[in-house]
Amino acid sequence: MSFTRWRTAVVFMCFWLGVCTSAQARTPTDTLVIAWSIDDMLTLDPAESFEFSAGEILGNSYQPLVGFDLNDVSKVFGVVAQSWSVSSDGKTFSFTIRPGLEFASGNPITAADAVYSLTRAVKLDKSPAFILTQFGLTPQNVDEKVRQTGEMTFEFETDKPHSPQLLLYCLTANVASVVDKKLVSSHERNSDLGYNWLKTNYAGSGPFKIRDWRANEVVVLERNENYQGPQTTLARVIYRHMPESSTQRLLLEKGDIDIARNLTADQIQAIKENADVSVQQGVKGAIYYLGLNQKNPYLAKPQVRQAIKHLIDYTVIADTLMKGKVSVHQAFLPKGMFGALELTPFSLDVEKAKTLLAEAGLADGFTVTMDTRNTAEATGIAQAIQKTMAMAGITVELIPGDGQQTLTKYRARRHDIYIGRWGPDYQDPHTNAETFARNPDNADNADSKTLAWRNAWEIPEMTAATDAAVLELDSQRREQMYLDLQEKQQQSSPFVIMFQEIEVIGTRSNVKGFVIGPSFSTNSFQSVTK
């Protein structure tokens, strides 16, 4: 029997052997091949793109007006903008464009391009437009508020004297990237501002230009010879869509790809033994949290919220389960962001939790459900939490669902507990404060669906404090305001903030210089050498 199976296998193998080439081509030295699950990618238009993968690709192919130092985020420097000043009333920002810059197309970069890019994003009003419209811009008034004042100068007028930090950080986001006005305008159809063209094409000035994108298959970038910064040694960078992490590991170890982006914690442990491969990591801005819906009478009790914060084994999940893909973090601003609080007051303490539950009149515990996205990470963390919660008598029933399903339910406030992951939209602390500590209207049909609203947490005082921090012009005082806000929020909120994400990638050992930034748009392969 086994002999026959063996013989069949040999027949199969000879069949293959006869027809296939045996030597495989590995990646060329001037080409970086990255395997990543890029099925989230919707568009290449900076005015619309808001996904991780596209964020990274646009971050390497477009240039913003200003950028920030990855090692010291408080340092903001000009990229396309050379300098700027703020008027005495704090509402008008005047920018001067750096002279001598060119787009990949060869067109010179002027103030007209910067104004066009900002007004275009506001007029199109796609997902990331709120980053700009929060300064009081609307499609109707934007032409008046963002105005060109000279060949290389323009002004940006806001509705209130916001902290200058907030505006500058917002301008580092991809939505404020400078696009080639002449090129985009030439592809305008029915006054669509080039929207239908730019979603699959490129009009930027970054170190790389996008040559081709085939959805769920491949993205190809090439060196931009017109880029004025230091030229990269890579001639091209190829992203290959690879949804299966085991496949990524095989190809990485084999040398058919240079970087694998979706390796699981176990696979990372396993490849550490291979000398041809190395592991690189960097702290990301995303945080993992539990949202406790205040519409649930049990979870609305302050003691219960406090008890749950003591019923999670933070260190075991971070070290044993996630194996270094997250670190323990318990405040709403991620480490590395301006004003982040690094205090971690909670740890697993079943006795304390039991006392708190008894105080709430729930000594025998209760039953709640937890909506869990069916990814390995979320499911693993949820199961670990289920186990420790049971120690104090809280029965957690997990409801697995795909991302869209759980999110739809969360946004309709029909969950009990939601296990979520939140990444900041831009580099300013307001992005997270706005969602974790602000809820201007707790009604079911409210316009603003912040995370505080989704968990029906009514906080008029904290909302006022969050709004005040945005308008604080002095940066030291502003930092203190955020620290106070986080400490207060940490204790009283229905959010159990647990971890901060760490991005871990596997690279071939000869690949050097890949930079992992706090967001995907700050990940850079500009200085990679092989």
Partner 1 sequence: MIWFRPCRWLLPLTRLVSNLAVTLLGLLLVTFLIGRVVPSDPVLAAVGDRASQSTYDKAFIELGLDKPIYEQFWIYIKTVASGDFGTSILTKKEIVDDIIRVFPATLELATVSILIGTLLGVPAGVLAAVKQGKLIDQVVRVIGLIGYSVPIFWLCLLGLLLFYAKLDWVAGPGRIDISFEYAVNPMTGLLLVDSAMQGQWDAFKNAFSHLILPASLLGYFSMAYISRMTRSFMLNELSQEYVTTARVKGVPEWRVIWCHALRNAAVPLVTVIALSYASLLEGSVLTETVFSWPGLGQYLTNSLQNSDMNAVLGATLLIGAIFIGLNQLSDALYSSLDPRVRKRL
DSSP secondary structure letters along 264-313: -HHHHHHHTT-TTEEEEEEEEEEEEEEEE-TTSTTTTSHHHHHHHHTS--
- Regarding 408 and contact with partner 1 (CB under 8 A), the answer is yes
Stretch that binds partner 1, among 241-249, 268-276, 436-444, 495-503 (CB under 8 A): 241-249
- Regarding 449 and contact with partner 1 (CB under 8 A), the answer is yes
CA atoms within 13 A on the CB side of 187: 15
When the beta carbons of 371 and 472 are compared against partner 1, the nearer one is 371
Stretch that binds partner 1, among 12-20, 112-120, 277-285, 309-317 (CB under 8 A): 12-20
Binding mask 171-200 vs partner 1 (x if CB under 8 A, - otherwise)?
A: ----------------------------xx
Alpha helix positions (H), 424-495: 430-436, 451-454, 460-471, 475-492
Residue 196 CB, nearest distance to partner 1 (Å)? 8
Stretch that binds partner 1, among 114-122, 127-135, 201-209, 491-499 (CB under 8 A): 127-135
Stretch that binds partner 1, among 237-245, 311-319, 383-391, 485-493 (CB under 8 A): 237-245
- Regarding 24 and contact with partner 1 (CB under 8 A), the answer is yes
Judged by DSSP in three states, 152 sits in coil
Identity (one letter) of the amino acid at 200?
A: T
Q: Which of 251, 340, 353, 470 binds partner 1 (CB under 8 A)?
A: 251
* Cβ–Cβ under 8 Å, residues 64 and 46: no
When the beta carbons of 38 and 481 are compared against partner 1, the nearer one is 38
Cβ atoms < 10 Å from Cβ of 59: 26
- Regarding 240 and contact with partner 1 (CB under 8 A), the answer is yes
When the beta carbons of 31 and 82 are compared against partner 1, the nearer one is 31
* Cβ–Cβ under 8 Å, residues 17 and 4: no
- Regarding 501 and contact with partner 1 (CB under 8 A), the answer is no
Residue 21 CB, nearest distance to partner 1 (Å)? 6
> Distance between alpha carbon 474 and the CA centroid of its chain, in Å?
28
Name the nearest CA neighbour of 336 among 399, 428, 272.
428
The dihedral formed by the CA atoms of 515, 516, 519 and 523, expressed in degrees to the nearest 10: 30
Which residues lie closer than 8 Å to 162 by C-beta, 6 or more apart?
Answer: 90, 135, 470, 471
Distance (Å, rounded) from C-alpha 384 to C-alpha 362?
22
Residue 268 CB, nearest distance to partner 1 (Å)? 18
> What are the distances in angstroms from CA 428 to CA 54, 324, 393?
21, 26, 40
Residue 519 CB, nearest distance to partner 1 (Å)? 13
When the beta carbons of 254 and 387 are compared against partner 1, the nearer one is 254
- Regarding 274 and contact with partner 1 (CB under 8 A), the answer is no
- Regarding 25 and contact with partner 1 (CB under 8 A), the answer is yes
- Regarding 217 and contact with partner 1 (CB under 8 A), the answer is yes
- Regarding 159 and contact with partner 1 (CB under 8 A), the answer is no
When the beta carbons of 387 and 411 are compared against partner 1, the nearer one is 411
* Cβ–Cβ under 8 Å, residues 42 and 49: yes
- Regarding 219 and contact with partner 1 (CB under 8 A), the answer is no
Q: Which of 140, 191, 404, 476 binds partner 1 (CB under 8 A)?
A: 404
- Regarding 216 and contact with partner 1 (CB under 8 A), the answer is yes
When the beta carbons of 107 and 127 are compared against partner 1, the nearer one is 127
> What are the distances in angstroms from CA 491 to CA 85, 309, 339, 454, 484?
39, 9, 18, 19, 11
* Cβ–Cβ under 8 Å, residues 169 and 427: yes
Distance (Å, rounded) from C-alpha 455 to C-alpha 436?
10
Contacts with partner 1, residue ranges (CB under 8 A): 1, 4-5, 8, 12-13, 16-17, 19-25, 27-28, 31, 33, 39, 42-43, 50-51, 125-130, 133, 199-200, 214-218, 220, 238, 240-244, 246-247, 250-251, 253-254, 256, 402-405, 407-409, 411, 425, 447-449
